[in-house]
Amino acid sequence: MTNLNPGISAAADMPAMADPNAVIDAACARIPPFWPLDAMVATNPYLGYVEQPFEQAAEYQLRILGRRMTAPRAWYRRQFEAGRITEADLQCALEQGRSGLTPVELVAALREPEPPACAPLLYSGLLDERYRPAQSRYVIQQVSQFCAAWYDQGQALWRMPRFADTLYAAWRAYLRIDRSPRWMEISDIETPLAALPEEARAAIPVALEQLGVPADRHEDFLTLTLASIGGWASYLRARRWEAELAGGADDDIVGLLAIRLTWELILLANDDRPERVELWRQSLCCWPERLGEAQARALEIDLLWQRALEIEYQRRLVAGLRRAPVAAAAPEPSRPLALAAFCIDVRSEVFRRALETADPAIRTQGFAGFFGVMARFRPLGAQRARSHLPVLLPASYEVCETAGDGDGPATAALRLQRRLKLGLAKAWKQFKLSAGSCFSFVETAGLLVYVPRLIGDSLGLSAPVAHPETAGLSPAQAARLGPDPDAHCDGAGGIPVEARPETAAFILRAMGLKAPFPRLVLLAGHGSSTVNNPQRAGLDCGACAGQTGAASVRMAAGLLNDARVRAALAAQGTRIPGDTWFLPRPA
């Protein structure tokens, strides 16, 4: 084995990784998928551990990553002192956990200092803590800046050249011309890069061998390495998730792992103190397979307090259900006056309650805001379609937005007009912010351009930024647009005619809609409108992948109002009366 640092041995007799691809994929699977800001939805941060008991996952997180999965003890102490958690809850938790501790010991432990968590065993962390400036922070910054440029979707004013076809190969080419490592006393980049293969999956086992990581700790070390750059790792895990839903594959997260691992090798190769490297390798060989006695006891105490909190919640919930009066069910009319279906978002609950209070003859119900339409939606003139269903589910169809004539002249003209307006607006913004014109523009035209806009925005006569759903369109033009399941434009195939009855039947089954159908069924989507808010998607419909529910309710209502679809449903035994109308209410 080639030694990158003279005088440093790297355990030449170390056995090779048994199945490199299996170990690599197992480490990648522990990373939870997080979607980007334009499709921000809640995701379980411990999704990679769902097959393990909570206690086992908590032990692994603490031992390998140095992270706790329970609340701080000071928080538990406040809950106990406030009477939320009682000694009876603690006793029940002890009995369920078959612990030898007592409630008195649990309470006393809340004031004891907690033992420090296990320090992550990355070489960059060793340099941070003992000898040099924050090398790990520099590494994360360098990788993050490269990834931000690589995955740019048109936001950047200056685009990065495509150095190669894959993430890892492009990063290697970029690093060779990057001058920032010299500022961090990293002088030799070429030697570590030359020692590794140019393909990510091939480079990872070689890098582990060069680093001297014991073979039985490869998966743990790779998990730790990916977790150190968790934001981008989760983003790429989401890309892999989406590719797998579509029957494909995405290996960019493996490329990110190879990049982060190569940085560890670069830092090790540039270290001029062999004794420090040897000390780190010895610590890897002594990496504990289980927590020490003090840490195991501390984790046991934290898990017991967590269990007591869960018992308290269950106790309070059951007591509330027992106290609640059981009202006699009012006889439902043979045919409801109307039905309003809202998204199960908590912000819709006030509208449901208000409707039921105003007229008991109006029924309401909640359902996920995509209303059972498994489709992506491509707005007019958009470069790519957006998912309008929960991100964990695959889309079956792709529907585009038209002016009602498919890909006819009206839609084509509006598409061209919108793309031209948005392109000119982007070019104007690039001109204003470019390095050569920003100062001269403000000096010569700043007052003329911005003063009228500032006055109009202040008086509410104009909006600082156009809503992304209608940007580049006038109100009259936007009102003409809608999802068209028949259109085959911009690469979208629509919803095939033969598939529409089954799609409509799925919507009815999922929402629990059955005879007698009311005359009016309102499908209410929801969305938001904010300015200069990077978290905007978090205010929209989570069931629509962080988009508004407008397209979803229109697609669902269009299918259920289609006479051909209703005829096919009637043949299957589901008859929707001719006077029943599904009304979409977009956000």
Residue pair 546/366 in contact (Cβ under 8 Å)? The answer is no
Let me know if 130 is exposed, middle or buried by CB neighbors in 10 A (0-12, 13-18, 19+): exposed
The stretch 318-337 carries a mean pLDDT of 75
**Listed range (10-24, 103-117, 190-204, 549-563) with the worst mean pLDDT:** 10-24
Structure-token pair, residue 557: 């209502």
Helix (H, G, I), strand (E, B) or coil at 325: coil
Stronger pLDDT, 52 or 457, i.e. the higher one? 52
Any idea how long the chain is?
587
Tell me the pLDDT tens digit for each residue of 328-372.
Answer: 655 665 788 899 999 988 888 888 889 888 888 888 999 998 999
What is the mean pLDDT of the segment spanning 141-168? 89
pLDDT of residue 131: 56
> 586's torsion region: left (phi>0), alpha (psi -120 to 50) or beta?
beta
> If you ran DSSP here, which 8-state letter would residue 178 be given?
-
> Hunting for tokens 């048109």 — which residue is that?
154
Residue 9 has pLDDT above 70, yes or no: no
Q: What pLDDT, on a 0 to 100 scale, did the predictor assign at position 332?
A: 60
Question: Does 457 have pLDDT greater than 90?
Answer: no
Q: What is the pLDDT of residue 130?
A: 60
Nearest-angstrom CA–CA distance, 413 and 206: 56
How many angstroms separate the CA atoms of 560 and 556, rounded? 6
Q: What is the pLDDT of residue 7?
A: 41
Mind listing the pLDDT tens digit for each residue in 502-552? Answer: 999 999 999 988 888 999 999 999 888 887 788 888 888 888 888 889 999
> Quick one: 354 exposed, middle or buried, by C-beta within 10 A (0-12, 13-18, 19+)?
exposed
Q: Pick from 495, 447, 46: which is nearest to 230 by CA?
A: 46
pLDDT in tens, 198-226: 999 999 999 999 999 999 999 999 999 99
Residue appearing with tokens 């941060």: 45
Mean of pLDDT values over 476-505: 88
**pLDDT tens per residue, range 67-115:** 999 999 999 999 999 999 999 999 999 999 888 899 999 999 998 888 7
Q: Is 400 helix (H, G, I), strand (E, B) or coil?
A: strand
Residue 208 is predicted with a pLDDT of 95
